[in-house]
Amino acid sequence: MGKTLTAKPPRGANGAGLNAARYGKLCAETLPKVIESDEEFDRMVEHLERLTFKPDASAEEIAIAGLLEKLIVDYDDEHYPLPDVPPHRMVRFLMEQRGLKQADLVPVLGSRAQVSDLVNGKRGISKAQVKKLAEYFKVSPELFI
């Protein structure tokens, strides 16, 4: 699974505040639809990346980015599900990928003992720790559940 992109939250609910003509033009350029192949997935990711990293995106661009994000996540979840990995192994993996030591997680989890117990699988992971770790590593909380 590649990097996770998150669209900026749209302004207004249910399309309120959107210019239909501008949104329609974006739809015509992007052609959002249910993704059925890796090629379509890659195309949608390219569009989402452009929109996500665009400074001062319009309400219409934010709305289409949210739609693309949903389509991408649905395809990714269906075709490339995450393996069942115990939370402590996922934490170790993320630490290794980032070159971190247990001491680096002390400010996140509270104490050396808590970090050690979690990383070594001696203690389960609490909901609060899931939230803190997801924010720290900038990943979905689902990785730790």
Q: What is the pLDDT of residues 56-82, one digit of tens each?
A: 999 999 999 999 999 999 999 899 887
Contacts of 32 (CB under 8 A, 6+ apart): 44, 64, 67, 68, 71
Q: Which amino acid is at 98?
A: R
First CA to last CA distance, the chain: 17
Average pLDDT, the chain: 88
pLDDT at 3 over 60: no
For residue 6, what pLDDT band results from cuts at 50, 70 and 90? low
Q: In this predicted model, what pLDDT tens digit does every residue of 112-133 receive, in sequence order?
A: 999 999 999 998 899 999 999 9
Its pTM stands at 0.56
